Amino acid sequence: MTRSVLSVVGARPNFMKLAPLARCFAARPDVRHTTVHTGQHYDAGMSAAFFGDLAIPPPDHDLGVGSASHAQQTAAIMQRIEPVLVATRPDLVLVYGDVNSTVAAALVAAKLGLRVGHVEAGLRSGDWGMPEEINRVVTDRLSDLLFTPSRDADENLRAEGVPAERIHFVGNVMIDSLVHALPAARSRQALTRWGLKGRPYAVVTLHRPSNVDDPATLGGLFEALETLGRELPVVFPVHPRTRARLVALGLCPSAGGGLRLLDPVGYLDMLGLVEAAALVITDSGGLQEETTFLGVPCLTVRPNTERPVTCTRGTNRLVTPARDVLLAAARDALEARTRGAAEIERWDGTTAERIAGVVLDGAEFR
């Protein structure tokens, strides 16, 4: 019996979660897998390049939604995905992570009476000021199958009254992508191309509104990075929204300094940069996990995290978005020079196989 599974993705973190499952499904003759790309990340450097790096086949449907306010983007995704779901009537709609595409697709599928599976379920920051937290909670309430990356995610769902039979602790599918991609990332010699080989350096990503939309906050963070750049190279692939804010404030690196602003880089180049970094400074969710697996010190510029295991078991530390605080934390991390990969249960590169086992074979993972 052939099962039909439809995956909905819209932003770079979704693509990294999709790739291992796409490979699993392609190897199974008993599944017909369809991919819908909502176009939430519409820039080629943010989207198409990741499909190429991750060897994901072109999506079967591209909704081309683009950028807008949360309400407008979510509404557009709902309007455009409904005809696709009505026409295909998949046995299961898989949604990934916590972006607007995730909650929009889950809501439409649930109202059409379709089964929903949520990959990376149960994560909670406790911060209702984060749009992603709202997306996570709503999506989990709508989902029939909840695939969790860590034990604390199971606990969160049980505390919210989710029936145990819906919860499957499968592990972290992001690690599947990382393990699969590492050889290709190393072969690209990103460090040589950027003149970093044999030198300690830091990698930075910042994109959250709380860090980049307030001029005083962004200015302080930029000043900290410039100061740190006088001590070692600081490589900063700049998200489009962040670059727009920097341009508006007239912020650019001083001539001769070590802070380098790059255009967005693909997954393989970013992985190559992160693996060899002395330090990562970020407000991303996925990088907290990747640095923990790779044993790279990470400073997350946020007051909270939905991935606390990266702090309690990994290499991650939360810091407030203030110039002096960030600079002191960065210097402490560089001085300590501690690296060591964390061993976290089921972060082993085979999570996608466990998810496919649940979806196609009715397996249970607790």
Is residue 32 domain-shared with residue 163, that is, in the same domain?
yes
C-alpha to C-alpha distance for 318 and 64, rounded to whole angstroms = 35
* DSSP 3-state of 3: strand
**CATH assignment of the domain containing 241:** 3.40.50.2000
Regarding whether 199 and 95 lie in a shared domain, the answer is: no
pLDDT of 50 reads 77
Q: Return the axis-axis angle of helices 240-249 and 215-229, rounded to nearest 10°.
A: 90
**Of 168, 180, 207, 239, catalytic:** 207
Question: pLDDT (tens digit, 9 = 90+) per residue, 217-276?
Answer: 999 999 999 999 999 999 999 998 899 999 999 999 988 899 999 999 999 999 999 999
Is residue 42 over pLDDT 70? Answer: no
Average predicted confidence (pLDDT) for the chain: 94
Assess whether pLDDT exceeds 70 at residue 44. no
* Whether residue 198 sits in one domain with residue 161: no
Closest CA to 191 of 303, 269, 98: 269
Q: Which residue has the tokens 């081309």?
A: 64
Query: What is the tens place of the pLDDT at every residue in 13-31?
Result: 999 999 999 999 999 999 9
Q: What is the rounded distance in angstroms from the CA atom of residue 277 to the CA atom of residue 353?
A: 30
Same domain, 239 and 272: yes
pLDDT band at 111 (very low <50, low <70, confident <90, very high): very high
CA trace torsion 82, 10, 47, 320 (10° rounding) = 160
Residues 99 and 232 grouped into a single domain: no
Rounded to 5 degrees, φ, ψ at 47 are: -130, -70
DSSP 73: H
Quick one: 323 and 352 in the same domain?
Answer: no
Domain coverage including residue 54: 3-171+346-361
Torsion, Cα of 141, 147, 149, 154 (10° steps):
50
Q: How confident is the model at residue 93 (pLDDT cuts 50, 70, 90)?
A: very high
Number of domains in the chain: 2
On whether both 165 and 228 belong to a single domain, the answer is no
Q: Check pLDDT > 80 for residue 83.
A: yes
Is residue 298 domain-resident? yes
Pair 8, 144 in one domain: yes
Question: Quick one: tokens of 214?
Answer: 């307030």
Confidence class for position 87, pLDDT limits 50, 70, 90? very high
Q: Are residues 161 and 240 in the same domain?
A: no
Judgement on whether residues 18 and 161 belong to the same structural domain of the protein: yes
pTM, full prediction: 0.94
- Given a cut of 80, whether residue 41 has pLDDT beyond it is no
37 is catalytic: no
